[in-house]
Amino acid sequence: MKGSFKLGKVAGIGIFIHWTFTLLILFIIFMNYKSGQNATQIIWSVVFILCIFITVLLHELGHALAAKNYNIKTKDITLLPIGGLARLERIPEKPLEELIVAFAGPLVNITLAFITGIFITIPDTSQHLMAELSNGVNANNFFLNFFLVNFWLAIFNLIPAFPMDGGRILRALLSFKLQRHVATRISARIGQLLAMGFIIFGFFTSPILIFIGIFVIIGAQVEADYTESKFLLKGFKVHTVIMKQYLTIDANDIVKTAVELVLDSQNKNFLITENGIPVGTLNRDQIIMALSKKGDDEFIYNVMDRNLVYLDSDSLLENVFELIQLNKSRLMLVMENNKVVGVLDVENLMELLLINEVKINKAHDRK
């Protein structure tokens, strides 16, 4: 994520912290100072927040290490003011695997709460508990606060609000009996309903709940659409949507040539060649950027995207869908017997999805 600083690596996973985390620390210091706390109390509060974020890191590492057992790598973990974000290369699609990976995070919090609970005395009444916590975080109640935070983090993450951990657990359980896209749709709708409750409750309590609610609503819809798209692509291969007619631009041409092609056709992506060999790609946005910054006399080889993406013509579209999504601004080369037989862009794939969706809906209407 932009604005993140690398702290190091754990088990080969890059650990980052977003710069906005410093705003949280400053906010805690300001609020504690405003409430009349002395320097010692403020230091205890800051140390406690740091410990909570170490807990969040351990939570995300729980997901990452569980995923590693299924040969799923974690790109990185980023610590944000509202929690942590582990970027897995992919989400496990087998129900049991997803269940274990999703539950691994809350299990870390449950374990930390259990271990902490062994060494502390938990007040037997709510009045005693409130009395213990009334003076903020200090040396006497530090581990009691740590126990309570881990306990509530576990409970909160297990709420079935997809795509939170609890929602993923629900999706995994439903997937044992239902098709994955159906299980995702059900989990997403339940998550969005609960998210509306977060937002309403957040207006009266904490703005953080509003942000979480918005995240859940958007995240659930994105993942539901993604899973539905993969289902619609089931059984189709790359050669189904191959484009054999495409425009090429020579790497030694100038930007003016690319601009003329954009104006003279509906094409938004172009293959760049040199002596007939693909050496890069160029899309409309890159052409406009090059025209703006370098002028129309700049050579194409100085502004083209040299990162070529290759797809095998016999690959199943559902298996390369994520790769296509990650490179949706690029023209991808389709290979057959080590030769380029065509190209593919995300717009062509979206047209196939639209056609398949119409066909399925029409078949349902006939029933």
Instruction: For residue range 226-285, list pLDDT tens digits in order.
Output: 899 888 888 899 998 899 888 899 999 999 999 999 888 888 889 999 998 999 999 999
Return the structure tokens found at 48: 């406690």
HSE (CB half, 13 Å, CA atoms) of 274?
Answer: 10
Of 288, 259, 260, 258, the C-alpha closest to 271 is 258
Q: Are 79 and 17 in contact (CB under 8 A)?
A: yes
Q: Are 150 and 115 in contact (CB under 8 A)?
A: no
Model-wide pTM > 0.85: no
Q: Are 109 and 151 in contact (CB under 8 A)?
A: yes
- Per-residue model confidence as pLDDT tens digits over 86-126: 888 888 889 999 999 999 999 999 999 999 999 898 888 88
- Per-residue model confidence as pLDDT tens digits over 126-181: 888 888 887 778 888 899 999 999 999 999 999 999 989 999 999 999 999 999 99
- The predicted pLDDT at position 174 comes to 97
HSE (CB half, 13 Å, CA atoms) of 15?
Answer: 15
Which class for 127: exposed (0-12), middle (13-18), buried (19 or more C-beta within 10 A)?
exposed
Return the structure tokens found at 122: 């938990």
254 phi and psi, to 5 degrees?
-110, 165
How many C-beta neighbours within 10 Å does residue 320 have? 19
Return the structure tokens found at 136: 């903020």
Of 207, 324, 191, 290, the C-alpha closest to 183 is 191
